[in-house]
Structure 1
Amino acid sequence: MSKTMSIIKRSFVLAGIVLAAHGCTLDVTPTDKYTEETIFKNPENMELYVAGLYAEFQTFKFGQFPIGYSNATDALTDIEKYTSSTSGNGTVNILAMDASRVNAAGPQLNYWSSGYARIRRINEFLSGLYKYAKLSDDAKAMYEAEARFVRGYTYFWLVKLHGSVVLMPGLEDYKEKNRQRSSEEDCWKYIAADFAYAAEKLPVTQPATRTGRATKGAAYGMLARTWLYAASIAEYDKKAYNQDPLTGVAAASAATYYQNAAAAAGEVIKLAGEGIYGLEAKFADIFLKRDTKEAIFKLDFVAPQFTHQYDFGFTPPGDIPGQGMVYGVPTAELVNEFEMADGSKFSWSNAAQAAEPYKNREPRFYASVLYNGASWKGRTIDSKAGTGIENFTEYGISSEPKRTVTGYYIKKMLDSTNINFVQNKSIQSWLELRYAEILLIAAEARAKSNNIGGAQEALNTLRKARYLPENAPGDVAGLMKAIEHERMVELAFEGHRYWDLRRWRKAHTVLNGVRFTGHKITPQGAGFKYEVVPADNANRQFTPALYYIPIPQDEIQRNTAITQIQGW
């Protein structure tokens, strides 16, 4: 068993010990039981406890969401289509097409209970750390930084969903059972404070014995992401979608928060200049190389103890006939967004491009999408319309088609060398935060701060690494259009698209009253006919109310001081 796995498993045992200790009401120290004091006095226990906190990042690995499927939120958008139409495997489609399924009584898009359970564990750790731990001040600061890094991440998800949530800074706050939500702006500031503290105290790199732990660059990266979200809400929301007095961010704060985001991203860029981070020469290597410099914070997996099933869920069915799932596939909208190799826009109106649409496309296309005629594991993908195992089938004809409903399969993050993933499962790393995202954050935050040259530099640094020509307009509107395109393509299937459309307040226009599409491919003469066909059998729905997901009704019933977000 690896050291990492040993730490993770033992940390869960320790967590149980700590919980048991909380149940003791005697004033004397028992001789046959663990107490908080004895636990925190042992440095090894401290290491185990902190390692266990990092389990929270498992919740959202591979773009997953608490509804239980990888790439789930991308499948709520225009870049991916889930193939199933049944509850469970097809819950994403149900949510995408029926906004009423999201409500205070239902479990959908609900992270409240598990998120606050993690926050409670973190606050317990911080309390014990300063009460009982026999450590140097520097060691205590390091552990506090790691705990606050995880707490900041946990709150980040809660605030992305609900905007205004309950802040619980320490254990003393639990003495008051009923607490009202804090303002959304205060929530973003609180998250930023956790990441800022972590950035100050964490090292630039961690030793090999602490692989997978947070670093200074990871904390600055999360801080940049946090301020970008806060700034976006300040600029784009303007109380147009919800009148709750606690949601929204003051418009006057936008400029400062964009500057904060640019500054935090700049700290990561400085570390890249020192050789800590960098961009891979080959796009596919980012997701398969264990030592990729693009990774700022990632989860590593080790067989057989610590694995995942991303390949099983998304690989083309020819890999494991009759066994795979093919949960989600790329849409035509995403495929069309990838540029030509020379940086020009792909267009079906261009006769030459339309005749051979998969020829001379940019490198990211070939690393992200499996198309008709693509080479994969020693065979040629056949995604034409038909009855073959990998052929296109119309969405809704079968409730569980387990093959493409758009004419494409996802390639990004799949391991082409793993041919026994049913038995062995998968071990490619999940990159929660990578350097390309930092450059895109820097580009957006600098553009919004009227640092046009700085925005152009960040954007073009990324494009040149992807073997594309510079494309950085000289005005803010043009830069934002270019940045939105880059985020859609560069970060596809990594769980960003849905949240980007929400923070830009574009989701109610891009994801509402539309049906996304695929390409039905049939032989025609010496070539093929490419027909645009709906991948949805009903219009998508995203109502403005969904910018703030309701607080679960059972929480409202338990906490008499908290009010539901207006509109729910």
Structure 2
Amino acid sequence: MKKLSYIAILLGSATLLPSCQDQLDLQPISQTVVGGDGTGTAGSSITNAATAEAALAGCYAIFKTSSAEYYVMDYYIMADGRSDNSYAGADNAAWFEVDEFRILSTNAVAARDWRYLYNHIASANSIIANVPKVTDASLSADRKAQMVGEAKFIRARAYFDLVRLYGDIPLVVDELPTITSSNVAEIYGQLYPASSTADAVYTQIIKDLDEAATVVPKTGPDKMTVTPGAVYTLLAKVHATKKDWEKVKANTDKVIGLGYALLPNFEELWDGKHENSAEAIFELNFTDWATGGNWGTGMFYGTDWKKFNTPSNDLVKAYDDEKDVVRKASTIFTADVSGKWSDKYWPLTKFPFAYKMRNGDGSQNIIMYRLADVLLLKAEALNETGDLAGAKTLLNQVRTRAKLAPNTSADQPSLRLAIEKERRLELAFEGQRWYDLVRTGRAIPAMQTVKDGNGNSLNYSLNEAKLLLPIPQGEIDKNENLKQNLGY
């Protein structure tokens, strides 16, 4: 009866979509938005070179438009706000739940990020399924292969976030036909799939990336083009999560061999004057509000209202203990906000803000992948496979730019922690810290030691179950095949 009820609701809502879609939100994640005439899938509009290119441009645009709330905001709070780098900040109860590990299955942020990422996957799926079918002679076989490779990277990147956030999740790699009364029962299991294991998701991610690496464009008009460097960087990150250190080394070597270079000054990464630089590997390009401006800046920086991702006392102490003046100045901005709001962690006379996004006119780019990250990933892989000297060479290359003395760790455990700390100080507020802690098994011990500015423990109630977000209850209500994560 439950299955029949879902089918009835689905068919009943079909005549209302898309005009009432926001209110009903009944569309399954495995189905892309129906075509403009209501008779086909999203991909059915891909019929020639022009529409294929438009579909790919639309898939890239999702980073800046329909899923922008994730890519310019939530991505950073999920990775830094959940970690010891920052507090949730602002005044949003859903984010306080995330920050303090009190999250419920009805949490609004967990629900929207699930939708945003599956929305991006659906867009990529339509390209992967339909571009190869285009017979327009002006769309060459090489270009079709490039486009499919770019879409596979975007799909893999979204699945990498999903599997790290939620664990076992539905794995949807096909675009389904239009839902009708005659086929809905037959394809119900595809419309509402059960979760695949995290290992199966990682296998698909690696498959997509391996297939994309050899066909994506070698270069693009800017760094918001999927190139081999972006693919190999993501592969390195995936293999680091799986602790396959030989493959981490192989993929980081491929990135390094492509000729990227550290900018001479750390501040140049964030000053808005050196965008699409030699260090950037994959970068979201923003120009103005009319084309999807970067409004994330206003979520993290500014004194007009209390912002998100307030830097933690623990992070500030880490910079100060390391005497890391260079990176601290580019990462954390302080201002006197007396009388504007209250805060339980910081005095208002010297209140900190995340500073890497700071241009308020919507034009600041977001660097998703850059060379320093790759160098430190390779250093980690070298240390884990016994090459301490090689690891320290790369670690010190990053430290030198920050005007810090070379690292002198004498053994693998101490060098492991040194690399972890370097990644923290180098990549703070770039969406890395929480995932680094989880993949190295350090999340629980690291969070148990976090203190406020007066040396008092924050007593985070974190356990193994809380390392993952809950599967959104609204998705379980729609899909009887989903199972909730343990602890929720």
- Report what 2:452 is aligned to: 517
Alignment check: 8 A CA contact 1:313 1:324 kept:
no
Offset at residue 411 of structure 1 (A): 5.7
Distance in 1, matches of 2:325 and 2:420, equals: 17
CA contact (8 A) 2:149 2:216 kept: yes
Give 5+ residue unaligned stretches, structure 1.
1-16, 26-33, 232-256, 318-322, 347-360, 372-380, 397-402, 519-531
Give the Cα separation in 1 of the matches to 2:78 and 2:199.
27
After TM superposition, give the deviation of residue 262 of structure 1 in Å. 1.6
* Unmatched segments (≥5 aa) in structure 2: 1-31, 178-185
1:50 equivalenced with 2:59 (yes/no): no
| Residue 188 (1) aligns with residue 192 (2) | no
Is the aligned partner of 1:413 residue 2:356? yes
Matches for 1:332-411 after TM superposition, within 5 Å: 332-338=313-319, 345=322, 361-371=324-334, 381-382=335-336, 387=338, 394-395=343-344, 407-410=350-353
Q: Which amino acid aligns with 1:553?
A: Q
Counterpart of 2:125 in structure 1 is: 123
Aligned mates of 2:217, 2:57 — CA distance in 1: 16
Q: Does 1:264 align with 2:264?
A: no
Confirm or deny that 1:433 pairs with 2:369. Answer: yes
What is the distance in 1 between the residues matched to 2:434 and 2:349? 20
- Determine if contact 2:152/2:209 at 8 Å carries over to the other structure: yes
- Secondary structure at the aligned position of 1:298 is classed as strand
1:204-223 to structure 2, matched below 5 A, reads 204-206=218-220, 208=221, 212-223=224-235
Alignment correspondent of 1:161: 165
* In 2, Cα distance between equivalents of 1:515 and 1:460: 27
Q: Distance in 2 between matches of 1:60 and 1:269?
A: 32
**Cα distance in 1 for residues equivalent to 2:354 and 2:170:** 40
Change (3 A) 1:453 1:393: same
Contact 2:230 2:281 in 1 (8 A): yes
- In structure 1, the residue corresponding to 2:310 is in which secondary structure? strand
1:434–1:211 Cα change, 3 Å? closer
Normalising by the residue count of structure 1, what TM-score does the alignment of the two structures yield?
0.69
Q: Which moved more, 1:331-340 or 1:292-301?
A: 331-340
Tell me the distance in 2 between the aligned counterparts of 1:166 and 1:36: 21
Give, in whole Å, the separation in 1 of the partners of 2:317 and 2:102: 31
CA distance in 2, matches of 1:545, 1:94: 15
**1:18 CA displacement:** 7.6
Q: 1:335 to 1:563 in 2, by over 3 A?
A: closer
8 Å CA contact 1:63–1:71 kept in 2: the answer is no
Equivalence for 2:285: 300
* 1:308, distance to aligned residue in structure 2 (A): 2.4
User: Does structure 2 conserve the Cα–Cα contact (< 8 Å) formed by 1:314 and 1:327?
Assistant: yes
Q: Is the 8 A contact 2:223 2:283 kept in 1?
A: no
1:9 aligned partner: none
Shift of 1:470: 1.7
Q: 1:137 to 1:479 in 2, by over 3 A?
A: same
Shift of 1:382: 4.8
Instruction: Give the conservation status (yes or no) of the 8 Å contact 1:284–1:413.
Output: no
Moved more, 151-160 or 459-468: 459-468
What is the alpha-carbon distance in structure 2 between the residues aligned to residue 170 and residue 310 of structure 1?
A: 32
User: Residue in 2 aligned with 1:487?
Assistant: 423
SS of 1:224's equivalent in the other structure is: helix
Q: Tell whether the 8 Å contact from 1:61 to 1:432 is kept in structure 2 after alignment.
A: no
Distance change in 2, residues 1:562/1:303 (3 Å): closer
Distance 1:324 1:365 in 2: 23
What whole-Å deviation, never above 9, does each CA across 1:35-92 have from its counterpart, x for those lacking one? 966x4332121111101112343447676217xxx545412222223444x4x2x542
Distance 2:62 2:240 in 1: 22
* CA shift digits 1:232-288 (9 cap, x unpaired): xxxxxxxxxxxxxxxxxxxxxxxxx2211221111111112xxxx111111111122
1:494-518 residue CA offsets vs partner (Å, 9 max, x unmatched): 1211222222232223324x66323
* Cα shift at 1:116: 2.5
**Structure 2: how far apart are the matches of 1:19 and 1:404?**
52
Number of the residue aligned with 1:102: 104
- Are residues 1:20 and 2:35 paired? yes
Query: Which stretch has the larger CA shift, 303-312 or 460-469?
Result: 303-312
Residues 87 and 311 in structure 2, CA contact (< 8 A), matched pair in contact too: yes
Alignment RMSD (CA, Å): 3.2
Q: SS at 1:486's partner residue? A: helix
Partner of 1:235 in structure 2? none
CA deviation after TM superposition for structure 1 residue 483, in Å = 0.7
Q: Is the 8 A contact 2:336 2:351 kept in 1?
A: no
Q: Name the SS of the counterpart of 1:201 in structure 2.
A: coil
Question: Are the counterparts in 1 of residues 396 and 406 from structure 2 also a CA contact under 8 Å?
Answer: yes
In structure 1, how many angstroms separate the alpha carbons of the residues matched to 2:452 and 2:133? 58
- Partner of residue 228, structure 1: 240
Residues 369, 551 of structure 1: alpha-carbon distance in 2 compared, 3 angstrom cutoff:
closer
Who is 1:179 aligned against?
193
Residue 291 of structure 1: aligned partner: 276
Cα distance in 2, alignment partners of residues 148 and 329 from structure 1: 35
Q: State the TM-score, normalized to the length of structure 2.
A: 0.80
Task: Give the deviation of 1:152 after TM superposition.
Answer: 0.3
Q: Using the alignment, how far apart are the partners of 2:72 and 2:423 within structure 1?
A: 15
- 1:260 counterpart SS class: helix
Q: 1:22 to 1:141 in 2, by over 3 A?
A: farther
Distance 1:406 1:475 in 2: 42
C-alpha distance in 1 between matches for 2:125 and 2:140: 20
Q: Which of 138, 141, 148 in structure 1 is aligned with 2:145?
A: 141
C-alpha separation between the residues in 2 aligned to 1:546 and 1:411? 25
1:308-347 matches, within 5 Å, as 308-317=294-303, 323-338=304-319, 345=322
- Which amino acid in structure 2 is aligned with residue 463 of structure 1? R
SS of 2:87's equivalent? Answer: strand
Cα distance, 1:393 vs structure 2: 5.5
Q: Tell me the residue number matched to 1:278.
A: 261
Could you tell me whether the CA contact under 8 Å between 1:329 and 1:405 is conserved in 2? no
Equivalences, count: 438
